Amino acid sequence: MKLTVEDIRKDPGYQLLDKLSYDHVLDFAGEYFRKSNLSIRFYLILIFIFFAGLPVSVYLGVTIKNYNLLSLFQQFLYGLLISFTVMIPMHEIIHGIVYFLLGARKIRFGVKLKQFAFYAVAEDFVTTRTAFYILALAPFIILSGLNLFGFFYIRGYAGYTYLSILFWHATMCAGDFALLSYYEVHKDKELYTFDDVRNRVSYFYYRKQS
């Protein structure tokens, strides 16, 4: 049977660990992004690889394929523009689709422009640790895979647009990896999380050990 919010709130076997206000998402993410753990190290290594791939690909494009440097730079600007327009909603839609596949039906999307924070939440839907990992990583894995495919299989200058999108979208996934860092900090606990959309708060509970 699927665990409900009422089950957690009424059962003394579950203990509230943290409350996260939607207005303080950036502070929360910043705190756990600064932690030194596997999730953050893995993310930083990927960002470094994606970033290093930019000048290397330009060098190979100019020296081997005789591409024009200015035209390549133009493709990278296109990628930046697409990343901050098309990719942001695509990222959140994937979160929403995963929520739906996990069983959530009251899915909401929001934005905090002052913090440039975008989010997808599911009201009163309890998420386990495993489900949360899938939820957090799905946009990064799917969109990174699609952009890598585009870079390697789309001929001409357009392929470099995908490489640019790959890098910029990866930088936008910092918040997802910060939340994974939170779970890693509390890896000794059986965590459950759910959203109170009306009050704009996410709750993190854990099951007490008997």
pLDDT tens digits, 41-56? 999 999 999 999 999 9
Pairing mode, if any, of strands 117-122 and 127-128?
Answer: unpaired
Give the chain's domain count: 1
pLDDT value at 113 more than 80: no
Q: What's the pTM?
A: 0.92
Structural domain containing residue 38: 24-116+136-189
Residue 10 lies in a domain: no
Q: Is residue 54 part of a domain?
A: yes
At residue 210, the pLDDT reads: 66
R_g (Cα) of the chain, nearest Å: 20
pLDDT at 168 over 70: yes
What single DSSP character describes residue 209?
P
In a domain, 131, yes or no: no
Q: What is the mean pLDDT of the chain?
A: 92
Query: Using one digit for the tens of pLDDT, what is the confidence trace for 53-98?
Result: 999 999 999 999 999 999 999 999 999 999 999 999 999 999 999 9
Q: What share of the chain is helix, strand, coil (3-state, %, to 5)?
A: 65, 15, 20
Tell me what pLDDT residue 63 has: 93
More confident: 119 or 180: 180
Question: Phi first, then psi: what are they for 198, rounded to 5°?
Answer: -60, -40
- Give mean pLDDT, residues 177-185: 96
Print the SS3 string covering 126-159: CEEHHHHHHHHHHHHHHHHHHHHHHHHHCCCCHH
